[in-house]
Amino acid sequence: MQTESLQRSFRQVFGAAPSGVARGPGRVNLIGEHTDYNQGFVLPMAIDLAVHIAFRPRGDSRVRAQSLDFDQRSEFDLQDLSSVRSGWPAYLAGVAWALQDEGVVLTGWEGVVRSQLPVGSGLSSSAAVQMAAARVFAAVSGLEWEPARMARLVQRAENEWVGVRCGIMDMLASACGRRGRALLIDCLDLSRDHVRMPGSAAVVVLDSGTRRELSLSGYNDRRAECEAAARVLGIPSLRYASLADLHLRRDDLAAPLYQRARHVITENQRTLEAAAWLQAGDLTRFGQAMNASHASLRDDFQVSTPELDSLAALAQRHPACHGARMMGGGFGGSVVCLAERGGSRKLAREVLEAYQQLTGREGNAIVSRAADGASLYV
């Protein structure tokens, strides 16, 4: 359905049929927040909402892309990407830059882009558009699709072209997700385990209606604080720290650094334990780990907001909820909630109503499923 209407749009814009449709899914992170760039553990999943690009190759080195969401056209040459540094076209150009920088010879294409992911809600619309673009570039240029390699390339694009120092989680989830499974990633060596999601559980994303600007927010500051804490502790990253080490060095770490490190250390532990509980089907314990993660992000890492705190607290109190926490970089965006499948719609409705009464803000809910990673339809 989704791809048929996109193919129709392609025909309207370019006057011919596309040769394929690439899909880059968004992601939800169940637990493991602000741990990826500390070489720690994360437990995200790719979801059924995605960015799709209908495309066909060109005989030259130009990219012509039409965004249906922004109603904008972008056109650039792969030989000269330097001017394409902002807005959605920068995501396409950044992927091209990262691939070319690794010596890949690229072919141009034309395409229409459509996203099902609300921007800024914490579902990683940027990783999704970049993964979809990577699939297009790979398809038109005859490049073998290696999901983990592409995730690393897309991370470089985001870090060095777009200028956000994000970790690898979003791209790896979008590239390597599997239907019905969450993905436990060890961000030290990128090794992955697929953990089955119990059929009785539903993942509800509650969008607070507040927006963050990742590149403008405190995200890069938090990352720098984590690196500073690791330097003081004399270790390559906070992955190598234990709570015992941290307590011993308490006097050496200035106030915020101690809390930042404590969040990362405890979040890594919680993520590993939560993955084991998910595997065992113990959703109650899994939910408790999510609640504890929220408290740690709020108090120690200090990336939550009053809106996210309200939404998480309201969700946590709902009878159909196993656990809830803010998700993603923070400073706005969404809360992720693990709920009983049968009660998930009711939970979404009731929690959002209470949230509106409390804050005057209109939220939004998405019940999402674990889906396969980036794919290609030809």
Catalytic positions, written as ranges:
170
Contact between 329 and ligand GLA per CB under 6 A:
yes
Applying CB under 6 A, among 26, 94, 328, 373 the residue interacting with ligand GLA is: 328
Residue keyed to tokens 């998930």: 344
Of 17-25, 33-41, 243-251, 273-281, the segment contacting ligand GLA by CB under 6 A is: 33-41
Number of residues that bind ligand GLA (CB under 6 A): 10
Number of alpha carbons in the 13 Å side-chain half-sphere of residue 47 = 29
Residue 40 interacting with ligand GLA (CB under 6 A): no
CB of 336 to ligand GLA, least distance (A): 11
Task: Read off the amino acid at residue 289.
Answer: A
177 lines the binding site for ligand GLA (CB under 6 A): no
What is the distance between the alpha carbons of residues 348 and 366, in angstroms, rounded to a whole number?
Answer: 8
Stretch that binds ligand GLA, among 14-22, 29-37, 273-281, 313-321 (CB under 6 A): 29-37
Task: Select from 36, 110, 225, 300 the one that contacts ligand GLA (CB under 6 A).
Answer: 36
Smallest separation, CB 320 to ligand GLA (Å):
26
Contacts with ligand GLA, 148-167, as mask; x by CB under 6 A: ------------------xx
Q: Which residue from 6, 18, 34, 121 is in contact with ligand GLA, where contact means CB under 6 A? A: 34
Cβ neighbours of residue 40 under 8 Å, at least 6 residues apart?
32, 187, 188, 237, 238, 239, 264, 267, 268, 271
The residue ranges that bind ligand GLA (CB under 6 A) are: 33-34, 36-37, 166-167, 169-170, 328-329
